[in-house]
Amino acid sequence: MGIRKPVVAANWKMNGNKQLVTDFLKAVADSGASTNIDIVLSPPATLLDFTQTQRDSLCKDVILAAQNMSQLDNGAYTGELSAQLFKDVGCNWVYCGHSERRHKYGESSKLVAKKFIQAKKNGLVPVLCVGETEEERKKGKAFSRLTSQIEAVINLAGKDCFDNAILAYEPVWAIGTGNAASPEIAQEAHKFIRGMVAAMRQECSENIRILYGGSVKPENAKELFSQPDIDGGLIGGASLKPHDFVEICQAAKA
Ligand SMILES: O=C(CO)COP(=O)(O)O
């Protein structure tokens, strides 16, 4: 991982409660896991205010992230949540284009790019999630899928868009299936993604952190994180078990 500070991000999706927030933050604090790595927590939006308060008293280093966000500033958009609302409850990062948003809620790459821009405009660090489906991989179209998802952001946000941003490779076939990508397959995709950034801006490609997501668990984290272009992970299911999450964080330090 070299010069890049590892990141381990918890994505609770539509799970968790106040008790889990407290247990999670205590486990992270007790383990000292946040030394030398960035630990990110994204509980459901309703828990963020509580999480901020608990974070400030239990484990100040933990970064809060929103799981999704409106591309718009404010106004008559029932049920939507804006960048400013998330900043108000202590968020500094936001996930853009998680595969569940793309596939279950029909978010297009163009909409994802608008959200990415909105995050940057408001001083939030966007975590752009990209990844191919199983069918795309079988047809040899994995890299063209990644290219189109990343190009959509570059086209709208410009060539320096990945300064102060994070990328996450999350192959759809590995999310929630228990079948993580092999370290070789993940590394190949991460190298490809870093190469795309390098083609625009060499310096940015050396600094940008690219996270792997999809069935990361304590048993496979170390091997995945030891790949040269994998700078940490975006953790779903295993982040709901504080002990497992802490173990994954320790693997990112090794
Ligand atoms: O979607 C993910 C993180 O954003 C990964 O989820 P799982 O770790 O449950 O596969």
Q: Is 121 annotated as a binding residue?
A: no
Helix then strand then coil, % of the chain, to nearest 5: 50, 15, 35
Closest CA to 129 of 158, 164, 169, 91: 169
Taking the centre of ligand 1 as the mean of its atom positions, its distance from the CA of residue 240, in whole angstroms, is: 11
The answer to ipTM > 0.90 is: yes
Atom of ligand 1 nearest to the CA of 177: 10
pTM of the model: 0.97
Could you report the average pLDDT of every consecutive run of 10 residues in the chain (254 residues)?
87 98 98 94 98 97 98 98 98 98 98 98 98 98 98 95 97 97 98 96 95 98 98 98 98 89
Atom in ligand 1 nearest the alpha carbon of residue 214: 10
What pLDDT score was predicted for residue 34?
87
Which domains are present in the chain? Answer: 7-253 (3.20.20.70)
CA dist 165 and 204 (Å) reads: 10
pLDDT for 254 equals 73
Of all protein residues, the one whose alpha carbon is nearest to atom 6 of ligand 1 is 236
Q: Which two tokens stand for residue 226?
A: 């030891």
Indicate which residues carry an active-site annotation: 98, 170
Q: Which of 224, 235, 247 to mutate to test the pocket of ligand 1 (most atoms within 8 A of CB)?
A: 235
Residue 213 near ligand 1, beta carbon < 6 Å: yes
Mutate to test the pocket of ligand 1, among 7, 8, 11, 220 (most ligand atoms within 8 A of CB): 11
Q: At what angle do helices 218-225 and 183-200 cross, to 10 degrees?
A: 40
| 171 CA from centroid of ligand 1 (Å) | 10
Q: Which two tokens stand for residue 167?
A: 């990328």
Residue 209 Cα to ligand 1 middle (Å):
18
Pairing mode, if any, of strands 209-213 and 166-169?
A: parallel
